[in-house]
């Protein structure tokens, strides 16, 4: 389960926390939180990192975060060495189990690994937006570094705001904020990708969203995509993606359609 302190200024964590309080299987849930984007504690400098992590723990009502993602998209001038030293304290005090990175460049990941060789805590997980339509940011140096470092990659925006579920195919069907996010994908390339997904979904007798997830899981270094679900039936569709076995021809056609 993934959330961030920046989602609705922390309200997302309150909602997740209330749900977690009703569960008896907390130890079976991997809880990941991204910090650095909350307006009260922006960036990942030492002071704000501690404040952000502790605020997230309070909102979630838990004692420990399984994976704490450091948001590298907020440039606050912090030295990575200081950030990792602070993260080490969070791990040693039992507030965090493992560290992840979000929005880190390949160069910054290399810097983090050099620091890890000097006994700073190691970054073990990478979150980078990645899907059939959003490939250039990850496919290159970032993937090479992730593979070389043995990072578990958990790409966010796995369905590109729901577009790759096949539910939105015309601009007339788009409404609200999500419609604004999707509008740019309804073009020749986007429709071509949806057609390729439709064909594979028909051949395998699975939902379109499951094929999009299956393509992601077939890519090198990908461990588990991060996907939003708004209804229980969507969860069922997404879980089917974990069992989709795309053939070489299907993978090649999907990749070609997205090129």
Residues 119-139 have a mean pLDDT of: 96
What are the residue ranges spanned by the domains of the chain?
1-127
User: For 31-86, what is each residue's pLDDT tens digit?
Assistant: 999 999 999 999 999 999 999 999 999 999 999 999 999 999 987 788 999 999 99
Share of the chain above pLDDT 90, in %: 77
Q: What is the pLDDT of residue 167?
A: 79
Q: What is the pLDDT of residue 79?
A: 95
Contact 112, 82 (CB under 8 A): no
Residues 141-152 have a mean pLDDT of: 98
Q: What is the pLDDT of residue 27?
A: 84
Q: Answer with the residue of higher pLDDT: 13 or 173.
A: 13
Handedness of CA 94, 99, 103, 108 (dihedral sign): positive
As a whole number of angstroms, the distance between CA 252 and CA 140 comes to: 18
User: For 161-202, what is each residue's pLDDT tens digit?
Assistant: 889 988 776 666 666 655 566 667 788 999 999 999 999 999
Tracing tokens 């960036």 back to the chain, one arrives at 43
Tell me, rounded to whole angstroms, the distance of Cα 146 from its chain centroid. 14
As a whole number of angstroms, the distance between CA 153 and CA 106 comes to: 13
Q: At what angle do helices 11-21 and 46-60 cross, to 10 degrees?
A: 40
In this model, does residue 11 exceed pLDDT 60? yes
State the alpha helices, DSSP H only, in the chain: 11-21, 46-60, 80-92, 106-116, 141-149, 176-183, 188-204, 208-217, 232-241, 248-257
Helix (H) or strand (E) holding 249: helix 248-257
How much is the pTM?
Answer: 0.90
In this model, does residue 229 exceed pLDDT 80? no
3-state SS, residue 22: coil
As a whole number of angstroms, the distance between CA 149 and CA 130 comes to: 19
Query: Across-strand partners of 113?
Result: none
User: What does the chain come to in residues?
Assistant: 259
1-127 CATH: 3.20.20.100
Q: What are the structure tokens assigned to 86, written together?
A: 């602070």
Q: How far apart are the first and last CA of the chain?
A: 31
Q: What are the structure tokens assigned to 188, written together?
A: 């020749």
3-state SS, residue 88: helix
């Amino acid at each position: 389960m993934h959330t961030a302190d920046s989602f609705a200024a922390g309200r997302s964590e309150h909602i997740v926390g209330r749900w977690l309080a009703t569960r008896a299987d907390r130890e079976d849930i991997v809880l990941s939180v991204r910090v650095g984007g909350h307006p009260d504690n922006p960036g990942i400098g030492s002071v704000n990192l501690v404040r952000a992590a502790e605020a997230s723990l309070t909102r979630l009502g838990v004692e420990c975060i399984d994976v704490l993602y450091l948001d590298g998209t907020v440039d606050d001038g912090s030295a990575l060495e200081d950030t990792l030293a602070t993260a080490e304290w969070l791990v040693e005090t039992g507030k965090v189990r493992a560290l992840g990175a979000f929005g880190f460049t390949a160069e910054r990941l290399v810097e983090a690994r050099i620091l890890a060789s000097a006994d700073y805590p190691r970054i073990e997980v990478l979150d980078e937006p990645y899907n059939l339509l959003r490939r250039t940011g990850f496919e290159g140096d970032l993937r090479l570094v992730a593979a070389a470092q043995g990072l578990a990659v958990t790409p966010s925006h796995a369905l590109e705001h729901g577009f790759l579920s096949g539910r939105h195919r015309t601009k007339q069907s788009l409404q609200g904020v999500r419609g604004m996010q999707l509008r740019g994908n309804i073009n020749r390339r986007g429709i071509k990708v949806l057609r390729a997904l439709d064909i594979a979904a028909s051949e395998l007798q699975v939902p379109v969203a499951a094929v999009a997830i299956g393509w992601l899981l077939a890519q090198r270094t990908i461990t588990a995509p991060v996907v939003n679900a708004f209804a229980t039936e969507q969860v069922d569709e997404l879980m089917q993606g974990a069992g989709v076995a795309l053939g070489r021809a299907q993978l090649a056609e999907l990749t070609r359609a997205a090129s």
